[in-house]
Structure 1
Amino acid sequence: MVTLEHLDQSVTIHEGELTSYKVKGYEFMHQKGEPGWGNTDTEMFPVIGPTAGAEYRVQVPKGNAVLDQHGHLRELPYVLEVQEKQRAVYTKEYKAGTLVSNSKYPKRSRAPKLIWPFSFRFEKKFHLGNEGLKITFAVSGERDMPYMLGYHPAFRLRSPDARVVGGGKSTSLAEVMAAGDRALEIPETEDLVLEDEKSIGVSTRGFGNFMLWSPTSNMICVEPVTFYPYAVEQTALHEGFRYLDQPEATFEVSLIPNIKS
């Protein structure tokens, strides 16, 4: 367990997962064991969205890609590289063609093993500063590797009137829940504000889009994504790929709380 502290803020990270973000004692993050989702955050990589309808196959320029929903990065363990008072850095590495056991098999998936034909390194860096918590992702690996990236944080809700504001509209929790497991798309947007009992901004760089998901009224996921996967059929998921055309691609997510004393 890693704890970051700065001013009146505290962050807890467990094996690379953001499990708590408190400001003046106010918890913004959904907690494991509460109704809804079983996590607090995760990453979606190198694909976003379901793959079962395509028999877990994703079209790539070379080799075979067998991936479950949201990719296989979440099946790999994080390694803690740096731990300081305000900063922590975690990494994951994958070698092309390595078989990875699928934790969803057999209860929630028909794919026992996952495989990806490209090597990559994935870095997740936390920095707690004056304005809030910045999370930076860095993807490096084989040139022209196809990929999508999504960040999947879950926020605790207190008010039935909670709303997400941004992308030219104000979206109610009821609208998000009505979208179901497909999630609600907020396209071409870099910044959203979750308005609840206390508000928090989610400001991003590099993703370009959001999707919103909530299975229950006590939490909501505000997810920056490079691609909204339900824009295409599962057999055409490859249409949403970006390609690694530089040594490293970086993405930022800043959680900016608005708490008045």
Structure 2
Amino acid sequence: MVKLKNKDCTVGIDAGELVSFVCDGHEFIHQKGSPGWGSSDTEMFPVIGPLDKANFRIQTPKGEAIQDQHGLLRQIPYELILQTESTAVFVKEYLAGTKVKNSKYPAKSTEPFMDWPYSFRFEKSFELKEGALEIVFRISGEEGMPFMLGYHPAFKLHTDTPVIIANDQKISLDEVLAVGSRAFQVPDCTAVTLKDKKNITIETKGFGHFMCWTEVRNMICIEPISFYPYAVEQKDLDKGFQYLKDKAEFKVVIKPNL
């Protein structure tokens, strides 16, 4: 477990996963073991969304790739490469064509392995600053590699009637629950505030959109995304790709409003 701290907040990171963010005694992150989801954060890369109705295949400029929901990155372990009192940097590296075991098989998938025809390096860095936790994603790899990126953090809810504020729109927990597994779309948005017992704001750079998901009342996932996957049929999910130009950087800043 990696721990970051300053005078106001502490952060817990388990193998690259944000498992705790406590400020003034208030826990903002969904805890593993609580109802709703078995994780507390993850990344969606190089695809976002399900592909079960497309035979778990997606088109790339180098041909078909086998992917499952939200991509193969989450199946690869992080390596910690740097740690200080206020920062931690984790890396995943992938060699083109390598078979990656699919944890969804056989219960939820017909594919025991996933693959991707491009090599890449994926870096996730945390920095605890005064009044904010900054998370930066840096992607490097082959020129022209197609990809989508989504960040999938889960926030603990402390009241029955939290509200999400996005582009002056008020979104209730009931509205998110009603959409179900598709996730509530929040297009063209770079900052969202979750109003609960204590408020928190998620500011982003590079993503452009959000989606919100939960199936319980004690947590909510507020997810910065580069593409909303349900905007197209699964067979056309490749329309959501952007293409790597040497390197790409995406940023998420989580600011408690204490």
In structure 1, distance between residues paired with 2:139 and 2:159: 37
Aligned position for 2:17 = 17
In structure 1, distance between residues paired with 2:36 and 2:118: 34
**Aligned-residue offset at 1:131:** 2.2
Alignment of 1:202 with 2:202, yes or no, is yes
**Aligned-residue offset at 1:63:** 3.4
**Aligned-residue offset at 1:95:** 0.2
**Aligned-residue offset at 1:142:** 0.3
What SS does the corresponding residue of 1:49 show, helix, strand or coil? coil
How do 1:132-211 and structure 2 match up within 5 A? 132-211=132-211
Say if 1:64 and 1:115, in contact at 8 Å, map to a contact too.
no
What SS does the corresponding residue of 1:117 show, helix, strand or coil? coil
Report the residue type matching 2:256 in the other structure.
Answer: P
Percent identity over the alignment? Answer: 52
TM-score (norm 1): 0.98
Aligned position for 1:222 = 222
In structure 1, distance between residues paired with 2:118 and 2:152: 23
Report the residue type matching 2:250 in the other structure.
Answer: F
Alignment of 1:72 with 2:72, yes or no, is yes
Aligned position for 2:104 = 104
What SS does the corresponding residue of 1:81 show, helix, strand or coil? strand
Aligned position for 1:35 = 35
Report the residue type matching 1:253 in the other structure.
Answer: V
Report the residue type matching 1:160 in the other structure.
Answer: D
Aligned position for 1:115 = 115
Report the residue type matching 1:256 in the other structure.
Answer: K
Q: CA RMSD in A?
A: 0.6
**Aligned-residue offset at 1:256:** 0.2
Aligned position for 2:252 = 253
Aligned position for 1:51 = 51
Report the residue type matching 1:128 in the other structure.
Answer: L
**Aligned-residue offset at 1:161:** 1.1
In structure 2, distance between residues paired with 1:130 and 1:8: 8
In structure 2, distance between residues paired with 1:168 and 1:258: 17
**Aligned-residue offset at 1:159:** 1.1
Residue by residue over 1:58-103, the C-alpha shift from the partner in whole angstroms, topping out at 9 and shown as x without a partner, is 0100033100000000000000000100000000000000001101
Report the residue type matching 2:92 in the other structure.
Answer: K
TM-score (norm 2): 0.99
**Residue segments in structure 1 that go unaligned for 5+ positions in a row:** none
Say if 1:189 and 1:209, in contact at 8 Å, map to a contact too.
yes
Report the residue type matching 1:257 in the other structure.
Answer: P
**Aligned-residue offset at 1:166:** 1.2
Report the residue type matching 1:234 in the other structure.
Answer: Q
In structure 1, distance between residues paired with 2:93 and 2:14: 18
**Residue segments in structure 2 that go unaligned for 5+ positions in a row:** none
Residue by residue over 1:80-131, the C-alpha shift from the partner in whole angstroms, topping out at 9 and shown as x without a partner, is 0001000000000000000011011111111101000000000000000012
What SS does the corresponding residue of 2:174 show, helix, strand or coil? helix
What SS does the corresponding residue of 1:174 show, helix, strand or coil? helix
What SS does the corresponding residue of 1:64 show, helix, strand or coil? strand
Report the residue type matching 1:109 in the other structure.
Answer: S
Report the residue type matching 1:43 in the other structure.
Answer: E
- The number of aligned residues is 258
**Aligned-residue offset at 1:167:** 2.3
